[in-house]
Amino acid sequence: MILLLPFLAILVIIVVALFGAAVPGLDFLFGVVFPYAAITVFLLGIIYRVLKWARSPVPFHIPTVTGQQKSLSWIKSSKIDSPHSSPGVVGRMAMEILLFRSLFRNTKMEMKSGPKLVYGSSKYLWLGAIVFHYSMLVIVLRHLRLFMQPIPQFVLALQNVDGFFQVGLPGIYVTDGLIVAALLFLFLRRLYDSRLRYISLASDYFPLLLILSIAVTGILMRYFLRVDIVSVKELAIGLFTFHPFIPRDVGVLFYAHLFLVCVLLAYFPFSKLMHMPGIFLSPTRNLANNSRMKRHVNPWNHPVRVHTYEEYEDEFRDRMKAAGLPLDKE
Amino acid sequence: MSESKLKPEELAETIKYKTPNRNWMDQKVEMKPGRFSHSGVPKSVEYLQLPNPRKWQPTDPDWQLPENWKEIILEGLRDRLNRFRSLRVFMDICVRCGACADKCHYFIGSGDPKNMPVMRAELLRSVYRHDFTLAGKILGKFAGARELTIDVLKEWFYYFYQCTQCRRCSVFCPYGIDTAEITLLVRELMNLVGVNIDWIVTPVANSFRTGNHLGIQPHGFKDSIDFAVDELESITGIKVEAPINKKGAEILFITPSADYFGTPHYYTLLGYLALFHEIGLDYTWSTYASEGGNFGSFISHDLMKSLNAKMYAEAKRLGVKWILGGECGHMWRIVHQYMDTLNGPADFLEEPVSPVTGTKFENTTSTKMVHICEFTADLIKNGKITLDKSRNDNWKVTFHDSCNPARALGLIEEPRYIIKNACNHFYEMPENTIKEQTFCCGSGAGLGTDENLEMRMRGGMPRANAVKYVKEKHGVNYLGCICAIDKATLPPLMEYWVGGVEVGGVHELVGNALVMKGEKERTTNLRGEPLDGKME
């Protein structure tokens, strides 16, 4: 069931989209209303969730330190793994967000007879993750060409790099192949690794399948079942400039693609995909290891019951006296 | 192994790493003997004014909870979500990538899939989703949500007392999700309805009353220190001063109580006494703040604060300039990451400066507490003490980074520098098992009980395995560490898995090697064992 449900959900979404594209009059709903609604939910949803996180204070200073602290002047401290200042924290966060540093550390433990434990380097998850995320980023940026006229220089440049392996027409984008491969890898490892299967929820399979469907419909449109790109751009620019416009004959496949994207956008704020903004707020990563240099203030630091020295001495005075220990009150 | 009596190789055979095909939510917890601890005794619970004191055991069918226990816990969860951004973010952003799975020593040693850190967190996350998220409310189980029931509470008890808050998983998590934080908060929640273990509650009660977790009263403390002074005299020929509760001393020294009551901690105490005498330190011990460790931190932030308050209060009362802290693990996480926030600002203290070398400890200017390894490394670097490494030639040393000094402070090179200057033979364990990737002793965070021994041996297996590796390769026979729980729990672990390896502190090695002015010729080390070539 955990696997069946996401599959069914994707199927329903595609059927709904095809239905929308086929029934006359519904194109405004699918081409204009849903995209605006989805982007609104996406933006407001993320803001809402991030504000909700931000409203809870950070009571304690709890970075996970992964390198030598700054202490004595002659001991070399690790500026990135144990940052003691803001530039170090920025460096650490950048490494985490841009390079997935923690995941790069990943190891695989194996128990051999004896028992003997061995830890091997294991970079496949890191590789799959980084390929997926960067392909996604490039693809999203490439799509800006549909929303802007003239097309920004960096988008054209990106397009050129991505289409480096041009063989005939249309030029093939490397990222199209990479994202599908990475998504399949991430999906299959959940399925075939028994540990991953055990921990996976329907909400872990669903986004993978959703993004995969978006990629596949996109690829179909570009390379196989071509849609009228001029019409698509007219629609996109219409949305972007708040002058919505529905061109004729954009194609059923396009509506499927667009609707899947709408679902992804609207789903995003309520899902684990929030790890994207969440990493910025993770207190084990975004705090400097300087808590003995600089006092961290907890806004709700409430008083607690304590056992004072006076109470202690009152209880043990006789024995302390007999043992010759100094007293505050004789 | 009183409970299971498994031999090491038999125990290893039981570890399968097989995950069932059934949904994990459909499996009720099975409490296996040897893998959990006794519940808190009513007397201690009452003394601390904690909720629901009663006689009960985890295996009882009826836990005698208050009628509205579920409401209490959910309300407690709501309150903590609003007070801890960490909790809120960690509940929301896990993608279940599985990178943490085989990083946990308890998972490695038990193969129990619910010991994967991700699963441990999911035990709470599932309840969070059910009551605090829209998707969970609508989609229920399909969104990974489940209702809080008595079976869920029992599962929490079992698995959140199978976590030592070592934070190794947090190193590997791409979002830095910290299971220690989740464990501590779930233990807080359970504590709201009186679900706790005795080896936390009773030490906390002792610490509250007597200042230390062993419940040693002031005169007993003095006896211990006096005894150590005599013992040191018989080894070195020097009678050192060990002032207690002395007002106006320059430095207050606080160390875990096991140092003056436990073995092998005791040899490290002798090391401290010798060192402080040799450099002529103006310092004092305290009977009121006679515990560095903080068992409160194993159960709630409030009790952590309550016990920790004694350090600053005593420093203020005695009028010292700053505080020096001994070898301890979680004590140092609290001092480094919590103390100033909880009980500061320490504006009545001065920024720490070594009276011997004049070095200002720039990294402690706010909290005003220095780690003994920082202090001693500075002494050595400045040539203020003379160390005769050959007196440690009996030992082939390796160093176990204790979880908290490594992953909360980044105190990595200081102890190594000291060891390398105090002995001739030092060998590192494999890199995936030391420094920030160090493995827990398997008994931290209040889990070092006899009834939990099997789980401790399981959890300690990765550490023991790495020690065994250097023992076979280099003949290592001394496992150095800077944590009192390590010193208490690594010896049985070594005996079980490795054999022939002693456990001891870094300052025991310093004490052995320390050349003292006017000392008699040393014929034994601090353990009273003959030095090489000085016997027969």
Residue boundaries of the structural domains of chain B: 26-196, 204-513
Q: What are phi and psi of B479, to 5 degrees?
A: -100, 100
Tokens of B486: 């390590």
DSSP codes, B487-535: HHHHHHHHHHHT-S-EEEEHHHHHHHHB--TTPPPP-B-TTSPBPTTS-
Return the amino acid letter for B249.
Answer: A
* A185 part of a folded domain: yes
Return the amino acid letter for A207.
Answer: P
Chain A residues lying within 8 Å of B133, measured CB to CB: 270
- Cα B322 from chain centre: 23
Q: How far is CA A241 from CA A31, A33, B306, in A?
A: 14, 14, 60
- Per-position pLDDT tens, chain A of length 330: 788 999 999 999 999 988 887 887 888 899 999 999 999 999 999 999 999 999 999 999 999 999 999 999 999 999 999 999 999 999 999 999 999 999 999 999 999 988 999 999 999 999 999 999 999 999 999 999 999 888 999 998 998 888 877 666 667 899 999 999 999 999 999 999 999 999 999 999 999 999 999 999 999 998 888 788 888 999 999 999 999 888 877 888 899 999 999 999 999 999 999 999 999 999 999 999 999 999 999 999 999 999 999 999 999 999 999 999 999 998
- Exposure of B494 by Cβ count < 10 A (0-12 exposed, 13-18 middle, 19+ buried)? buried
Query: Angle, to 10 degrees, between the axis of helix B484-497 and the axis of helix B461-474?
Result: 70
Q: How many domains does chain A have?
A: 1
Peptide bond before residue A57 is cis, with ω within 30 degrees of 0: no
**Under an 8 A CB cutoff, do A59 and B15 touch?**
no
| Cβ–Cβ < 8 Å for A253, A227 | yes
Q: Give the domain extent around A81.
A: 4-322
Residue with tokens 């001739």: B424
Peptide bond before residue B492 is cis, with ω within 30 degrees of 0: no
| Cβ–Cβ < 8 Å for B391, B531 | yes
Please report the number of interchain residue pairs, chain A to chain B, with beta-carbon separation below 8 angstroms: 322
Cite the DSSP H helix spans in chain A.
4-22, 27-28, 34-55, 86-99, 101-104, 124-142, 144-147, 153-162, 174-192, 194-199, 202-219, 229-240, 252-267, 275-278, 309-322
Residues 6 or more apart in contact with residue A97 via CB below 8 angstroms: A279, A280
Of chain B, the end-to-end C-alpha distance in Å amounts to 38
Peptide bond before residue B264 is cis, with ω within 30 degrees of 0: yes
Distance from CA of A199 to the nearest CA of B (A): 7
**Under an 8 A CB cutoff, do A295 and B211 touch?**
no
* ipTM for this prediction: 0.95
CATH of the domain at A169: 1.20.950.20
* A46 part of a folded domain: yes
Which pairing describes strands B397-399 and B283-284: parallel, antiparallel, or unpaired?
unpaired
Give the containing element (helix H, strand E) for B113: none
* A227 part of a folded domain: yes
How far is B99 from B121, CA to CA, in rounded Å? 14
- Among B363, B465, B468, most A C-beta atoms within 10 A, so best to mutate, is B363
How far is A278 from A260, CA to CA, in rounded Å? 24
**Under an 8 A CB cutoff, do A117 and B369 touch?**
no
**Under an 8 A CB cutoff, do A301 and B306 touch?**
no
* A328 part of a folded domain: no
Chain A residues lying within 8 Å of B172, measured CB to CB: 102-103, 105-107
| Cβ–Cβ < 8 Å for A234, A251 | no
State the 10-residue block means of pLDDT for chain B, 536 residues long.
Answer: 72 92 91 96 97 97 97 98 98 97 97 97 98 91 93 98 97 97 98 97 97 94 97 97 97 96 96 98 97 96 98 98 97 98 97 98 98 98 98 97 97 98 98 97 95 97 98 98 97 97 98 97 95 61
Q: What are phi and psi of B44, to 5 degrees?
A: -70, -40
Torsion of CA A180, A184, A187, A193, to 10 degrees: -150
